[in-house]
Structure 1
Amino acid sequence: MLALRFYNKRDVRLENLPKPEPSENEVLIKVTQSGISQTQINEFIEGPFFINKDPHPLTGKSIPLIPCQEYGGIIEDVGKKVPKSLIGKQVAVLPLKSCGRCKYCKKGKENLCEKMAYHGLLGLDGGFAEYSVVHVNNIFPVEKEELLTFIEPLLVGLNTFDIYRTISKKKSFKREKVLILGAGPVGLSVASVWKDYVKADVSINDILAFRHKKAKELGLKTVDKGEIKKNSFDVVIDAAGMDPLSTQSAIVEGINYIKKGGFLISVGSYFHPVEFIPADLTFSEKNIISSMAYSLKLVNELPDVIKNLKINFKSLIQEIPLSKIIEEGYYRAEVEKESFVRIVVKC
């Protein structure tokens, strides 16, 4: 099979590999769609950050690794202990794999597992390949093909809400004013969860004009940088992360926008230091909290999230073939971010 493998910074290679076979509790997926995330581009440009060079404690696997944590396809074969009725089903991959035994797993915080693995990112191969094998517990049935690469980002968005509802202890969120910084695949997924499922009052901003305009076309309430009022949002979610095009990191900028006693939820990844004045938080009791991936309990809530979605995710996708992933995927995502929202590899 054709697959892309990550070896090191600026070293990804298209290779022909043996077609994998599912073990007794696994399924073999013919990958049909895999999304290029900013996380993978960061790994390529400056990494590895998440991708592990040493053998992973849970899986034993290290680089070279097949990247991509946001993907899905059609089940082509199953292991001996998996029902054959699953063959032919369209599924998205739930990338998180935990040990199930550590103190975090026992608390239902598998995303903090001491040995957590993640398909396409940490200790497990991912979706930039014609085929992928995953445990039967790591699949989620999907009717609409365009949602295959958005299931993981939607879970990421749902996790931000789960953290906030746990901390705030509120029962209704219709009056919550929420600002999303970043209108990439994660930012738009986070916005759709908070707007369509949570029913909060959501605004979104992106420094890239193309993505800002696309968010508006999708029916989201966009706000330009100069129009964002300070101290006016209950929740600000940084879904932008590290971006060389930004003059100020979103996590620092976002502090200005939350109300006294409000919350900034950090989803975006930063691998370099950022500066802020702690007194800006202390004097107003503003809070910064982080949100990492998702916990397994949220998968049960995901069907209700999907039922409420109003965003046309299909309109965000630009497809490329796997054979062109380096030139039209990785290189383009590095230098032409203004020209797309979601590049999807069509296998």
Structure 2
Amino acid sequence: MKAIRYYGKEDVRLDDIEEPMTLPGTVKIKPAWTGLCGSDLHLYYDGIMPPAPSATEPHPLSGETLPVVFGHEFSGVVEELGDGVEGLAIGDHVVVEPLIVCDDCPACKEGNYNVCQKMGFIGISGNGGGLSEHIVVERRWVHPVGDLPLDEAALIEPLAVALHGVRGVDVKAGDVAVVGGAGPIGLLTAAVLKAFGVTTIVSEVSQIRRDIAAKLGVGDHIIDPTQTDLVAKVYELTGGAGANVAFDCAGVQPVFDALQLSLKARGQLQILALYTETPQLNFSNMLFKELKVSASLGYAHDHGPAIELVREGKIDLAPFITARISAQNIAVDGYEFLVNNKESQVKVIAQM
């Protein structure tokens, strides 16, 4: 079968590889659409980063070294069912929760498998990926999506990231939240908050991204922090109280600082962004307002609820798709295109 495999920095190839076999307890899927992610860009342009293996060091759970099949945000159609598989039928539209976990570490045993001590990702760490003609996955990671279009279903994975972040804080309808950064995860986080009835303030320096946020309708207030004092504006909009929660989806110090200052007493800052440099934390601000700073990684038990949000019409994923490409020339049409047009793109999806 055909598959896009990652060999290392700026090296992806369309290869012929052996088709995987369906085993007991597994499901064979024909991938439909695969979303391109910031993690893919980091790997492609920067080279190896965990949880990807190297050419010599295998991932501890998949046992694979490079090259590995790429693509972890994907939808597909069920082709075969292994012995013992229940709750699915051939032809079902599904998405895959693309995790590889040990099931043995304390986090896994507590149900927090997203922070497994050896955690990996299908499509990054091995075990196949969405950029292939077929993939075999354990039944527990396969989630039916009903009649949800398969292109939209490819966005369930990043939506689950956003949902996990929102579910990790104490926020309810009528509260006020600030989202720092209107990239794909920031926009989806704002969409989840809106679906929950939260008044949402989106802060973004890029005019293009602010326009996208407005078009998507994910922010009650959309602010350019280079022109408007974000902290002062939040206090103005909240009658001097401050925001209940804030979400760092940017991963830069100025956003981190402004979000912390925008919170009300006993507010919570949730970090979803990946930081390339460790941010500095002003403990005096935390102490005198009893703030909480927490972080959210990936997802655990979130794909089902994310699918329901979409199926119930609370979130429309279609407008988040800004480009559809063929995977045959993914380096140029996908990764290079995204880097050169990152402000104007929300989600680019690829088809084999």
Q: TM-score, normalised by structure 2?
A: 0.86
Q: Which amino acid aligns with 1:191?
A: A
Structure 1 residues 177-202: Cα deviation after superposition (integer angstroms, max 9, x where no partner): 11122223322222222211x22111
Number of the residue aligned with 2:218: 220
* Alpha-carbon distance in structure 2 between the residues aligned to 1:129 and 1:250: 38
**Alignment length, in residue pairs?**
334
* Alpha-carbon distance in structure 2 between the residues aligned to 1:237 and 1:290: 9
- Counterparts of 1:7-22 in structure 2, within 5 Å, are 7-22=7-22
Moved more, 207-216 or 318-327: 207-216
Moved more, 223-232 or 41-50: 223-232
Residue 240, structure 1, aligned to residue 250, structure 2: yes
Structure 1 residues 59-97: Cα deviation after superposition (integer angstroms, max 9, x where no partner): 212322222221111112222333596211110111123
Shift of 1:335: 2.1
3-state SS of paired residue (1:56):
coil
Shift of 1:21: 2.3
Residue 195, structure 1, aligned to residue 194, structure 2: yes
Pick aligned residue for 2:299 from 262, 269, 294: 294
Structure 1 residues 14-43: Cα deviation after superposition (integer angstroms, max 9, x where no partner): 222222222222222111100001121122
Number of the residue aligned with 1:211: 209
Pick aligned residue for 2:287 from 282, 290, 311: 282
Number of the residue aligned with 1:78: 81
Number of the residue aligned with 2:231: 229
Pick aligned residue for 1:312 from 313, 316, 321: 316
Structure 1's 174 and 65: CA in aligned 2 closer, same or farther, altered over 3 A? Answer: same
Number of the residue aligned with 1:169: none
Pick aligned residue for 2:157 from 111, 132, 152: 152
Residue 346, structure 1, aligned to residue 348, structure 2: no
Q: Which amino acid aligns with 1:44?
A: Y
* Alpha-carbon distance in structure 1 between the residues aligned to 2:208 and 2:201: 17
Q: For the aligned residues, what is the CA RMSD?
A: 2.3
Q: Which amino acid aligns with 2:26?
A: E
Is the Cα–Cα contact under 8 Å of residues 70 and 148 in structure 1 kept in the other structure?
Answer: no
Number of the residue aligned with 2:65: 62
Q: Which amino acid aligns with 2:249?
A: A
Q: Which amino acid aligns with 1:180?
A: V
Shift of 1:325: 0.9
Number of the residue aligned with 1:100: 103
Shift of 1:326: 0.7
Q: Which amino acid aligns with 1:136?
A: R
* Alpha-carbon distance in structure 1 between the residues aligned to 2:39 and 2:88: 35
* Alpha-carbon distance in structure 2 between the residues aligned to 1:66 and 1:284: 47
Q: Which amino acid aligns with 1:144?
A: L
Is the Cα–Cα contact under 8 Å of residues 131 and 351 in structure 2 kept in the other structure?
Answer: no
Structure 1's 206 and 17: CA in aligned 2 closer, same or farther, altered over 3 A? Answer: farther
* Alpha-carbon distance in structure 2 between the residues aligned to 1:15 and 1:78: 26
* Alpha-carbon distance in structure 2 between the residues aligned to 1:195 and 1:59: 38
Q: Which amino acid aligns with 2:245?
A: V
* Alpha-carbon distance in structure 2 between the residues aligned to 1:112 and 1:191: 24
Q: Which amino acid aligns with 2:180?
A: L
Shift of 1:300: 4.6
Is the Cα–Cα contact under 8 Å of residues 252 and 274 in structure 1 kept in the other structure?
Answer: no
Is the Cα–Cα contact under 8 Å of residues 102 and 119 in structure 2 kept in the other structure?
Answer: yes
Shift of 1:238: 1.5
Is the Cα–Cα contact under 8 Å of residues 210 and 340 in structure 1 kept in the other structure?
Answer: no
Q: Which runs of 5+ in 1 are unaligned?
A: 166-171, 243-247
Structure 1 residues 96-155: Cα deviation after superposition (integer angstroms, max 9, x where no partner): 232223211222211111222221233433212222221111111122223322211222
Structure 1's 300 and 320: CA in aligned 2 closer, same or farther, altered over 3 A? Answer: closer
Pick aligned residue for 1:127 from 124, 130, 153: 130
Moved more, 15-24 or 249-258: 249-258
* Alpha-carbon distance in structure 1 between the residues aligned to 2:95 and 2:139: 11
Structure 1's 340 and 104: CA in aligned 2 closer, same or farther, altered over 3 A? Answer: same
Number of the residue aligned with 2:239: none
Structure 1's 4 and 300: CA in aligned 2 closer, same or farther, altered over 3 A? Answer: closer
3-state SS of paired residue (2:83):
coil
Q: Which runs of 5+ in 2 are unaligned?
A: 236-241
Pick aligned residue for 2:268 from 263, 278, 303: 263
